[in-house]
Every structure is written in structure tokens, then in C-alpha cells.
Amino acid sequence: MHTEIKALSPQEIKEHFYNSTTDELSLLGGELCRRIHGNKVLLRGLLEYTNHCSSNCLYCGIRRDNGSVRRYRINEEMLLEAVRQGTERGIRTFVIQGGEDSEYDNARICRLVESIKEQTGGEAAVTLSCGMKSATHYRDLRSAGADRYLLRFETSDPELHKYLRGGSSLTARLRALDYIRDAGFQLGSGFMLGLPGETEETRLNNILLAQKLELDMVGIGPFIPHPETPLADAEQKDLEMSVRGVALLRLALPEAHIPATTAAGSLEKDGRERMIAAGANVLMPNLTQVEFKKDYQLYPGKICLDESGIQCIGCLGMRMKPLDRELSFLRGDAPRLEREAAPGSPA
Ligand code: 5AD
Ligand code: SF4
Ligand code: FES
């Protein structure tokens, strides 16, 4: 159907990156998004199931060494209740996101996925965002029925990556992404923008790496310094680089599912709207019970802390109207899957 639509080449991306204004990029990204995804914005219900984390990423508010976080772990019963409420409101993708928490071990997450699938009659897609694991663990999660996996590469600069992530290498991160793909997941990754030490070249390479990885989903957003981390005094960079990032990603990966992220909406009141206008086609209302939301602050100033996910869905619908966009309650799998499933399609 969209065979006439071609992604920009790395060289073309580079030319736009250095020569196009943000308005020009947004216009191109927004137009291309409309040609591919129409006026529909897909919804993903987010569940922040644990804020325990054994990792110590310098940028993150729930890093291991932040002793002032009130740690929580939402049990299966409560997660399934949130899924029930989301399902009732029409949500058909649930994103299970958390820190690297050994109490929620792989077998336990497998059982959770099975329960969600069972409760939704197999109708809902389950996306996991539970960090770095072994190839076997990813395969087991996929066998348990999980459909998609998100693991941001965070930054394409290998030195910066290692510095920010406690010595863990970009190579290891990319290997994990290979394991995830090989396990048969729809693959999501992404990065932050405005990290201390990042350059223009890093930002271009972020886009080129996302394209090279042939991602089905790409989530990006502004780095927002958290006061209880080693990066407390880092400079807050403008949202603009994230808006440019979304537009360039759309041009690099026309079919990808790209969320207008909560971090963008937290940094600027109209941050998510600006991302949608530039080519994002996904929104992620947070279905986590309100009593826990405030304890999952990877960055300060996170929005929607006092609103329920159900209230947010209403809010998001209103916010999309002036952009001439509508919420979609479809599952929204990667377009390549639908093609692969279609009879007579090339292998
Ligand atoms: N500002 C913005 N985004 C952050 N993340 C973690 N810490 C911050 C921060 N301080 C992002 C990372 C992670 C995702 C879940 O949240 O990219 O992968
Ligand atoms: Fe843990 Fe993820 Fe935060 Fe790193 S970014 S400290 S892995 S929750
Ligand atoms: Fe949560 Fe507007 S999206 S209150």
C-alpha cells in the first residue's frame, strides 16, 4: 500500500540534520506520518510495575544509589486490576515497565504476561520494558506471549554510554537488542537528547543508529536532570532537539511507531503536541495506580501524577483535536507483521 514511500538515505538524513530548520523538519515529518498512519494516534497503557533497580545509571531518578526513593513493587493482582480498567476503556496494548528488579524475576514476569493474555482473551498486546537480560530470558518471555520489547540504547556515543551507565557498554546494549529481535519480538529502542557531553554528531548518529537497527518502535525524549542524581547540575537543554529528533526519525523510519513521550510533556506543556505535529503517532497514558506514580520519577516534574490513566485518555483525546488527530484503540502492531501475515506476501 505504501510501497511508494521510501525512507531517506543516511546521506539525506545528514543533509536535513545540518541544513533544515525545526519548522521545515516538523512539516516534513508530520506530513509523512499522516500519509502512513493517517490521523490516528495509537494508545499504549503504561504500567510502572516496580521502581526497584539494581542499576545505577547516572541520569536516572530511581537509580540504585538514590536512597530517598520510596521503593515499591506492584503485585500481580493490582496490575491485573489496572489492565482490567484499561481494557474496559478500550486499551489494547499494555507496556510493563520497571527497573531491573531481581524480585520480579524472569519466571514471575512470564507468569504475569500469561495472566494478562488470559484476562484479555489474547486480544491485548503486551510490551515489556524490563531491561537487559540473557538471550534465554528474552526467548522465555516471548514464549510466554509477550509481543514487543523496549530497550533504549540511550545514546549512540560509546564513551558517553559507558560513563552514564556504570561501565556497561553500548556493544552489550546492542547485543541485547539483537537477542530481543532474534527472540521474535517487535523491537523498540530509542535515546535521550541533551545529555551532558553529547554533541551534534551524537544526535545525528542516534538517528542513523535507530535506522540501521530497523526499529519497529522508537521512543526518544529530552534528558531532564534529576536533583538526586550525580547529573543534578547538568544543563537543561531545550525540547527543540527532541522535536527535530522525532521528525528525522519519521523520515528515517517511515513506518515506525514513535511515541510523543511523557518526558516531552513534562519539560514543556505542549511538548507531546509538538512531537505529534513533527511525526509521532503514539501516546502512552500512564495506567499505574496514582498511589505509586509519584515514586516512579526518572526525572523531576513528571506530569499526570494526580490523574488516573483513564482521566489522561480523556485529556489526550482533547489535546489531539486541535492537531486534527484522533485516538485509536487498535492494537497497532508493526506494519511489517501485517505484511508478513498476509497471504502471498514476499518472505
Ligand atoms: N530524563 C529523561 N529521561 C530519562 N530516562 C531515564 N532518566 C531520565 C531523565 N533524567 C529515560 C531513559 C530510559 C527511559 C525509561 O527513561 O531513556 O530508558
Ligand atoms: Fe534502572 Fe532503567 Fe533507571 Fe537505569 S534508567 S537506573 S536501568 S530504571
Ligand atoms: Fe495526563 Fe493530560 S495526559 S492529565
Q: How far is CA 323 from CA 101, 185, 196, 316, in A?
A: 39, 32, 33, 11
Residues with CB under 6 A from ligand 2: 53, 55, 57, 60, 62-63, 99-100, 131, 298
Going by alpha carbons, the residue nearest to atom 2 of ligand 2 is 99
Residue 30 in any domain: the answer is yes
Burial of 307 (0-12, 13-18, 19+ CB in 10 A): middle
The confidence score (pLDDT) of residue 347 equals 47
Residue 3 in any domain: the answer is no
Cβ of residue 263 lying under 6 Å from some atom of ligand 1: yes
163 C-alpha to ligand 2 centroid (Å): 14
Q: How far is CA 26 from CA 179, 217, 270, 275, 279, in A?
A: 33, 19, 14, 8, 7
Residue 307 in any domain: the answer is yes
The confidence score (pLDDT) of residue 342 equals 77
Those residues whose C-beta lies under 8 Å from the C-beta of residue 24, and which sit 6 or more positions away, are none
Count how many domains the chain has. 1
Residue 112 in any domain: the answer is yes
The confidence score (pLDDT) of residue 336 equals 96
Those residues whose C-beta lies under 8 Å from the C-beta of residue 22, and which sit 6 or more positions away, are 240, 243, 244, 247
Residue 4 in any domain: the answer is no
Q: Range of 248's domain?
A: 10-331
Residue 1 in any domain: the answer is no
Model's pTM, two decimal places? 0.97
Each residue's pLDDT tens digit in the chain (347 positions)? 555 789 999 999 999 999 999 999 999 999 999 999 999 999 999 999 999 999 999 999 999 999 999 999 999 999 999 999 999 999 999 999 999 999 999 999 999 999 999 999 999 999 999 999 999 999 999 999 999 999 999 999 999 999 999 999 999 999 999 999 999 999 999 999 999 999 999 999 999 999 999 999 999 999 999 999 999 999 999 999 999 999 999 999 999 999 999 999 999 999 999 999 999 999 999 999 999 999 999 999 999 999 999 999 999 999 999 999 999 999 999 999 988 887 665 54
Short-list 312, 304, 302, CA closest to 61? 302
CATH code where residue 264 lies: 3.20.20.70
Residue 346 in any domain: the answer is no
